[in-house]
Amino acid sequence: MSRRRKLGTKKKIALLAGAATLAGGGAFALAATSNAASVQNASTSTVCQGLATALGNNEKFIADQRAAPDALSEARIANREAVLAEIRRKQEASGCEVGESAQGSPAAPADPPAQSRPPAQSQPPAQGGGATAGAAGGGDAAAAGEQVCKGSTVTLSGEDGAPAASSNQFPAGTKLRVTNLDNDKSTTVEVTSVSGSCALLNNAAFEQVREPGKFLIRRALIEKVG
């Protein structure tokens, strides 16, 4: 005659609790995996790459200001901290990894000699001496445009205000023409501050040349026009 072992009430409760814990843990793991898979980063998304570059450039600017401060550094840093917060907000809204940072393009090589530049860059302006559209006056070199920072990408700083640029190559007052070769849109802006890139456009300037939904110009032509 066989006997069936009966589980006590306490053992039944313990077994049920253990099963619930395992099920909950599995659900948590699946949710975590799902959330991780939905986050994009700079290596998989052009939008995220542009935002990461903008974040890195602004972080470098702040670091440089702190390393060599002057009377206006505190105000500049406060302004850039607000820009960083806005970029992080855009990263979150775009499904990017919030806080991912990347420096911009490495320093550009020296400008090529005139004979190696593209024909469009080395041709003299049309008779009459008029500057090309959007370029400041100042002689034939300024009118024709001198290509600089060859191979550099262009992104935005996140700063508001009238169209302008910041640069680690050119002093304030320099005029740069930036052309997005993917859509042939150009803007001519004045350098007003320092950044970690050859040409970092503020929001208004970037809107003039951007492609919808993109925060990085991979194929950019940067010209010094004044």
pLDDT digits (tens, 9 = 90+) for 30-49: 444 444 456 788 777 888 88
The predicted structure's pLDDT at residue 189 = 96
15: part of which helix (H) or strand (E)? Answer: helix 9-38
Tokens 């909950």 — which residue?
24
176 touches 149 (CB < 8 A): no
Domain ranges of the chain: 114-224
Read off the pLDDT of residues 79-98 as tens digits, 9 standing for 90 and up. 788 888 888 888 888 888 99
**Residue 201 pLDDT > 90:** yes
Average pLDDT over residues 193-217: 91
What is the CA 20 to chain-centroid distance, rounded? 46
Reply yes or no on domain 114-224 having CATH 2.60.40.10.
Answer: no
CA dihedral 152, 157, 160, 165 (to 10 degrees): -30
Average pLDDT over residues 159-172: 92
pLDDT-derived band at 15, boundaries 50, 70, 90: low
32: part of which helix (H) or strand (E)? Answer: helix 9-38
Q: Which tokens hold the place of 224? A: 């010094």
207 touches 159 (CB < 8 A): no
pLDDT-derived band at 2, boundaries 50, 70, 90: low
Predicted TM-score (pTM) of the model is: 0.54
Q: From CA 7, how far away is CA 178, in angstroms rounded?
A: 78
pLDDT-derived band at 12, boundaries 50, 70, 90: low
**Residue 18 pLDDT > 60:** no
Nearest to 81 by CA among 57, 53, 100, 62: 62
Provide the percentage of residues in the chain whose pLDDT is more than 90: 27
The predicted structure's pLDDT at residue 221 = 95
pLDDT top residue among 213 and 165: 165
**Residue 14 pLDDT > 60:** no
Alpha-helical (H) ranges within 39-159 are 46-67, 73-93, 119-122, 140-144
